[in-house]
Chain A
Amino acid sequence: MEPQADNAHVPHDAASPFMEDCYFFQAIKKPDEFLYGRIYIPSEECSTTGIVIVGPIGYERLRRYREVVSLARDLSHQKYPVLYFDQRGEGESYGDFKDFNVTTRVEDIASAVRELHTHAKINEIVLIGIRLGAVLAVLGAAKHHIKRLVLCDPICNPANYAIDLLRGNMVLQRQYLGDSKNTAELREHLKQGGTISIYGFPMGYSLLEELEQLNIAPSLEKFTGKTALLHFIKPQGTGVKKDVLHWEQLLKTHGSCDTIAIESNFAWTEKKFLTSRLDVLNEEIIRWLKLSMS
């Protein structure tokens, strides 16, 4: 089916080389549910490679919110049509955080891919996944015939990430309420249908369970395309973490993988600076996209 570009509603500022807008679009299979998207369409010479950005979740999404928006704009400056969306249960999209899990988030990639096709003539979709978004992008890659993936600081071990989420709640409880359930008690509370606050996001059992049971290795091994695997190191730091090396190894089973170190003081935890953009990261992504074009 020839994709029809539908940009009638995407406003264009005379001074900008791309059109942009924020809006709601329908979720696939659930027409009453919607996703919030930020769309950036080059005004001229629009590439036929479209980019869907699959962001982090929860507090990590908020921690680096503007940086990802800036990445989307930078990519559009380079003539790529880009859609950065909030998964259901996140941000402005439909539903509550507690009601959505890994499976639903992978489904949302399908909605976003379909949506981007309506805005530009696209022959290829690249998924850029950030943190847990990188895991989701890997899981979604097979369904959408993705040939290129950009994985930024991926959550290499989802089970450990799940434990960190529980610990985050314990720290919060101790800090503010002087009281803290242990992980077993938190897990039981979740199993009984309760939620726990992960820096304000009410997490339910479904997400925890899926993260703990997720085995990403088969999806990494099966991917036959090209991958850019970006990871952060401190300035003058060296070495690649074992988890990242493991991912690289698996991605090279049937595909190719470029592991790229990004030197930065960037951290997913404490925020001491208002950072609007991560230029080093953006430039590496753009460079890799150009070099990896087949």
Chain B
Amino acid sequence: MAKAVNVIESSIRREVVTIPNRKGERMYAVVTSPAWEQQIEKLIIFCYTGVNCKTGPGGSLKWLGDQLSAEGYAVLRFDQSAVGDSQGELTNDLPLHEYFRAIQSGLAATDTIDVVEWAMQTYHPRKIYLLGYCGGCVTAAMAAVEKIEAIAGLICIALPVLYSQLDVQPIREYEARTISRDYVKRLFDGQSWVNLLRGQTDLNLLCTSFSAYGQSLVKKVMHCFLPEKMRFQLHPSFNQHFWRAFQELMRQKKRLLILMADFDDETPDFNAEFKTKVLDRCPDYAQLCTLEYLPKTDHAVLFEESRTNLKKVILVALSTVFE
């Protein structure tokens, strides 16, 4: 049985490639491209956080990549060192928030740069875009700065602007709001009262959610009374790696498409710490950044309707924002 160099599925050519990083580790990637094109003209390189594999949560990145390839774009999805199928090792049993913090500080940036260089040498595409998902947005931004001439634009989905906290994560604003509202609805549901009396209600979750939601509301109110200088100071946990990369991308007039999901804990932080304090106050930055909110979309883009919408938004942007 000979190895299949590439396969064709529904007008998409699919190829597994091996990309060595600068440490000599083998990174595995899948490249999808339109079957009708002999030469790769426009290439999108996906950068993900690295928690599972290059197909993304629920296969969302594979789905998106296939859809974009069906519309004429080549897509490269890869596993960075030590995750997915690739070689390399990380400390075992690393707390997830420590891993996220490492990604947000550039852990996967050099691997991504190596992938960009490999793609340039292998395919000589006319345009390369980087698409980051979650922590991969920071990876993409940092890599784009190092290969600034080669990168035509950046797409950021569910961009986390604050560093992952190193201590125990409290319930975050979106989750607290959703849970609190759910409990308020249940005030009018008899079964919920029966559950409460039977001791079947998660009182800890109830109290933590209301407390977290209450705190976020108080913070918003107090924020309005702060002096202007303090109101627009970047949050102490604001991702400085992303901030430096972002400023350089703006200086180089690179365009960014930022897509934030309605049902995502990252979105309130993004709105409060980046949109309000940076984009709304700096017209030069705002001009280069296109911001869209994805309705009825969760952080991992798990639902079919939200994926279809995501694909549409990206395709429109590729032919407008980045042209």
Q: Hey, which chain B residues are within 8 Å of A197, CB to CB?
A: 58, 302-304
Q: Which one of B67-75, B82-90, B108-116, B150-158 contacts A?
A: B82-90
Q: Is A253 an interface residue (CB 8 A)?
A: no
Contact of A22 among B7, B28, B300 (CB under 8 A): B28
Q: Hey, which chain A residues are within 8 Å of B62, CB to CB?
A: 91-92
Q: Which one of A58-66, A135-143, A239-247, A286-294 contacts B?
A: A58-66
The A-contacting residues of B in range 5-32, CB under 8 angstroms, are 6-7, 9, 14, 16, 18, 24, 26, 28, 30
Q: Are A34 and B7 in contact (CB under 8 A)?
A: yes
Q: Is A212 an interface residue (CB 8 A)?
A: no
Q: How far is the CA of A200 from the CA of B297 in the complex (A)?
A: 12
Q: Hey, which chain A residues are within 8 Å of B300, CB to CB?
A: 199-200
Contact of A200 among B26, B30, B59, B95 (CB under 8 A): B59
Q: Is B55 an interface residue (CB 8 A)?
A: yes
Q: Is B318 an interface residue (CB 8 A)?
A: no
Q: Are B92 and A25 in contact (CB under 8 A)?
A: no
Q: Hey, which chain B residues are within 8 Å of A271, CB to CB?
A: 51, 96
Q: Are B26 and A176 in contact (CB under 8 A)?
A: no
Q: Is the interface of A mostly helix, strand, loop or mixed?
A: mixed
| Interface 0/1 of B170-182, CB less than 8 Å to A | 0000000010011
Q: How far is the CA of A183 from the CA of B144 in the complex (A)?
A: 47
Q: Hey, which chain A residues are within 8 Å of B87, CB to CB?
A: 20
Q: Are A63 and B59 in contact (CB under 8 A)?
A: no
Q: How far is the CA of A104 from the CA of B57 in the complex (A)?
A: 23
Q: Which one of A44-52, A184-192, A273-281 contacts B?
A: A273-281
Q: Is the interface of B mostly helix, strand, loop or mixed?
A: mixed
Q: Are B14 and A24 in contact (CB under 8 A)?
A: yes
Contact of B90 among A36, A62, A178, A276 (CB under 8 A): A276
Q: Say which size band chain B's interface belongs to.
A: 35 or more
Q: How far is the CA of A36 from the CA of B4 in the complex (A)?
A: 10
Query: Do A273 and B26 contact each other (CB < 8 Å), given the known contacts A62-B57, A63-B52, A91-B53?
Result: no
Q: Are B16 and A22 in contact (CB under 8 A)?
A: yes
Q: Hey, which chain A residues are within 8 Å of B3, CB to CB?
A: 9, 21, 23-25
Contact of A24 among B16, B51, B59, B178 (CB under 8 A): B16
Q: Hey, which chain B residues are within 8 Å of A274, CB to CB?
A: 51, 90, 93-96, 99
Q: Is B2 an interface residue (CB 8 A)?
A: yes
Q: How far is the CA of A59 from the CA of B3 in the complex (A)?
A: 28
Output the least CB separation between B27 and chain A (Å).
Answer: 10
Q: Are B58 and A201 in contact (CB under 8 A)?
A: yes
| Interface 0/1 of A23-58, CB less than 8 Å to B | 111100000001010100000000000000000000
Q: How far is the CA of A94 from the CA of B221 in the complex (A)?
A: 52
Q: Is B322 an interface residue (CB 8 A)?
A: no
Q: Please, which residue of chain A has its CB at the minimum distance from the CB of B32?
A: A92
Q: Are B85 and A38 in contact (CB under 8 A)?
A: yes
Query: Do A69 and B59 contact each other (CB < 8 Å), given the known contacts A25-B3, A176-B303, A271-B51?
Result: no
Q: Are B26 and A13 in contact (CB under 8 A)?
A: yes
Output the least CB separation between B222 and chain A (Å).
Answer: 29
Q: Is B126 an interface residue (CB 8 A)?
A: no
Query: Do A277 and B92 contact each other (CB < 8 Å), given the known contacts A65-B53, A69-B84, A201-B59?
Result: yes
Give residues in A with beta carbon < 8 Å to B.
Answer: 6, 9, 11, 13, 20-26, 34, 36, 38, 59, 62-63, 65-66, 69, 91-92, 94-95, 97, 114-115, 118, 172, 174-178, 195, 197, 199-202, 271-277, 279
Q: Could you name 18 residue pairs across A and B whose Cβ atoms are closer than 8 Å? A: A9-B2, A13-B26, A22-B16, A24-B4, A25-B3, A62-B53, A62-B58, A65-B84, A92-B16, A92-B55, A176-B302, A195-B304, A197-B303, A271-B96, A273-B94, A273-B96, A274-B95, A275-B93
